[in-house]
Chains A and B, each alone.
Chain A
Amino acid sequence: MEWLAALTAGGLAGIGMWLLLDRNLIRVVLGVAILGNAINLGVLTSGRFSGSEAAFVTATSVPPDPANPLPQALVLTAIVIGFGLFAFALAVLKSVRESHGITTTDRVTEVTEQEAPDDEEVGLQVHQDDADRHHDYEEVKR
């Protein structure tokens, strides 16, 4: 069983890396997701598939052939975290693509390399607000 899982994880990781190296941002984000799943499968396999029963240990009984619960717990954590991050990555991707028209990795580099716009803090509209307030003040005075 382990060999099958190992091959699957390897194949998925290969697909993930291939997508990651693409220019298209959608494929890059999908690549991260697939690579993440490949690695989750790898972590699960690292505990070996020896047991055949869920490892529910009670005060009185222990199952005769329990599966290793630790990698399951690890991978559950990793899946939840991975899902959250994938959702966030998709949100950023949507905004970058639809609001700002950036669809390729080259364009991402190009935009980040642009000169800093003057009055950078305008990102938070602080200066803009000062200007508005000043304008209001002038209005009142008049």
Chain B
Amino acid sequence: MSALVVSPVVIPLVTMLIGVVLRPYHQQVKVVSVIGAIALVLVGLRLVGLAADDVVLSAQLGGWQAPYGITVVIDRLSAAMVAITGIIGLATVMYGLVRESNPDVLRNFHVFVHGLLAGVCGAFITADVFNLYVWFEVLLIGSFALIALGGGRRRLAGTMTYLVLNLLATLVFLLSAGLVYSSTGTLNMGELGLIFRAGEAPPAATMAVVLMLLSFAIKAALFPVFGWLPASYHVAWTPVSALFAGLLTKVGVYAMIRLVTLMWPEYGYVHEVLLWVACATMLVGVLGAAAQNEIRRILSFHIVSQVGYMILGLALASPLAIAGAVFYLIHHIVVKANLFFIGGIAARMTGSERLAAMGGLYAKAPWLAILFAIPALSLAGIPPLSGFWAKFVLVKASLADGFWWAAGVALLTGIFTLLSMSKIWNETFLKAHPKGEQAIHDDGNLRWGWWAVSGLAALTVLIGLGAGPVMEYAVAAAGQLAAPTTYFDAVTHPGGR
């Protein structure tokens, strides 16, 4: 069983190492990369299957018992995140199968993607604060290499911004981890949760955790520390920015959900601050998007605004709201990555990603138009797609707690999102191409990319139509977050019960 617990980390790491060894044989690297990604999806689905039966897996690494060893816990939320990470990883790797002329770039692409996936999965399953820091660094190293792939002036300048601000966030995290240790004497999340829930946390520990939340807020791109995201995501190569858009900010959101629910299960002052931050994030993000004229820059600002919804669910702290946040997380990762992929395909076909220089795709590639419409409408929250249910639950939870203004902001943001999406729709699909129809070229090079995009769109529809079971899963996940017995048992019953 413990092999299954660590496999979300081991599979991408092994895939990455094989990729490094096989560097000269780029066809083989591609095969290994796809096999590794499929294996991660299968493990993720197996974990979700176990979690749905209320099995919570846990292990003490290296044979040291908590709180001295590193605890790994896979509950419903972790399992769902691992599965979704695998799916996005597979889609990214498939898009990366594009026929290449500069093989070095693409070969390293597969290696780095799996390095990043290992970091992301590690962050999702660990139950130790310092170990979380290490996984953040692993995914960061992968992301630095990926965002710089291909080079060029604009891309390297964006890398510089991304690099410095993310390093700063990680340093803040390291500092807060040190302060948490110095004030409580432990880094085990379960033990920290017990200390905080018993009200025994010294003021210094509370401050240290708040500092940690600040570093997660930078990672998650919350207002007012979101500036690095729209300044860097649009410069990377398409599958790289889709991978980042899907997963990276969501690791920050996940870490916030994990720590806040563990330490402060009841609504308190931290939640109040988060509530304001969430509303500001939603509005600023969506308004920022309105001012942009390039497809990926619009979508980047929408990442910021959508993260606000998840934090809104976390801030409300009621079981329904937390369930809504979990549902939103699952829905959003799929939809957002897919929009970036489709934006990339559209930019490739029309030869530009400036809205003014795009157009004519509705006539030339109706399938792409339909594939765009599904995630775009889902993002805006049109029934019966997944985004509708996610927003519906969050608005319902806000109204139930009397936060009608938060519900109002959420709905208003939805309208603005729809406006933004219709702007892309009009400019990219409906309008005629400024250089005439012959300027649109379908090179057939992205065969695998089309499969990835179609699969993600199908998943969006599936989550929308099967919202019942997914929501049940999310509600049970919220229940586990409110009463994380496995986390506490690891400390209070070392060696198992």
Contact of B168 among A20, A95, A108, A125 (CB under 8 A): A20
Q: Are A112 and B130 within 8 A (Cβ)?
A: no
- B442 contact set on A, CB distance < 8 A: none
- With A32-B171, A85-B137, A126-B99 given, is the CB distance from A100 to B161 under 8 Å? no
- Which of B42-50, B253-261, B350-358 lies at the binding interface? B350-358
Q: Mark A15-56, 1 if CB is under 8 A from B, else 0.
A: 000001000010011001001100110110111100000000
Q: By DSSP majority rule, is chain B's interface helix, strand, loop, or mixed? A: helix
Q: Are A120 and B164 within 8 A (Cβ)?
A: no
- With A35-B171, A125-B102 given, is the CB distance from A109 to B231 under 8 Å? yes
A70 touches B (CB below 8 Å): yes
Q: Are B443 and A88 within 8 A (Cβ)?
A: no
User: Which bracket fits the contact residues of B?
Assistant: 35 or more
B497 touches A (CB below 8 Å): no
Q: Mark B79-109, 1 if CB is under 8 A from A, else 0.
A: 0000000000000000000111110011000
B150-204 CB contacts (< 8 Å) to partner A: 150-161, 163-164, 167-168, 171, 174-175, 177-179, 181-182
Q: Are B134 and A111 within 8 A (Cβ)?
A: no
Contact of B164 among A29, A39, A121 (CB under 8 A): A29
- With A74-B130, A88-B144, A128-B101 given, is the CB distance from A116 to B294 under 8 Å? yes
Q: Are B155 and A123 within 8 A (Cβ)?
A: yes
Q: Are A28 and B153 within 8 A (Cβ)?
A: no
Measured CA separation A46–B181 after assembly (Å): 7
Measured CA separation A20–B157 after assembly (Å): 16
Q: Are A123 and B174 within 8 A (Cβ)?
A: no
A7 touches B (CB below 8 Å): no
Residue of B nearest to A115 (CB): B354
Q: Are A46 and B179 within 8 A (Cβ)?
A: yes
A124 touches B (CB below 8 Å): yes
Q: Are B160 and A124 within 8 A (Cβ)?
A: no
- Which of B232-240, B359-367, B486-494 lies at the binding interface? B232-240
Q: Are A74 and B178 within 8 A (Cβ)?
A: yes
Q: Mark B281-298, 1 if CB is under 8 A from A, else 0.
A: 000000000000010100
A67 touches B (CB below 8 Å): no
Measured CA separation A72–B178 after assembly (Å): 11
User: Which bracket fits the contact residues of A?
Assistant: 35 or more
Minimum CB–CB distance from B485 to chain A (whole Å) comes to 26
Q: Are B141 and A114 within 8 A (Cβ)?
A: no
Which among B106, B141, B154, B351 has the highest number of chain A CB atoms within 10 Å?
B154
B347 touches A (CB below 8 Å): yes
Q: Are A42 and B163 within 8 A (Cβ)?
A: no
B113-144 CB contacts (< 8 Å) to partner A: 130, 133-134, 137, 140-141, 144
Minimum CB–CB distance from A32 to chain B (whole Å) comes to 5
Contact of A111 among B98, B157, B234, B443 (CB under 8 A): B157
Contact of B351 among A25, A84, A100, A119 (CB under 8 A): A119
Q: Are B141 and A71 within 8 A (Cβ)?
A: no
- B134 contact set on A, CB distance < 8 A: 77, 81
Contact of A81 among B137, B156, B296, B443 (CB under 8 A): B137
Q: Are A92 and B101 within 8 A (Cβ)?
A: no
Q: Are A116 and B105 within 8 A (Cβ)?
A: no
Q: Are A84 and B171 within 8 A (Cβ)?
A: no
Known: A42-B175, A88-B145. 6 other contacts (CB 8 A): A42-B178, A71-B178, A71-B181, A99-B156, A114-B154, A126-B101
Which residues does B use to contact A, with CB under 8 Å? 98-102, 105-106, 130, 133-134, 137, 140-141, 144-145, 148, 150-161, 163-164, 167-168, 171, 174-175, 177-179, 181-182, 231-232, 234-235, 237-238, 294, 296, 347-348, 351-354, 357, 443, 445
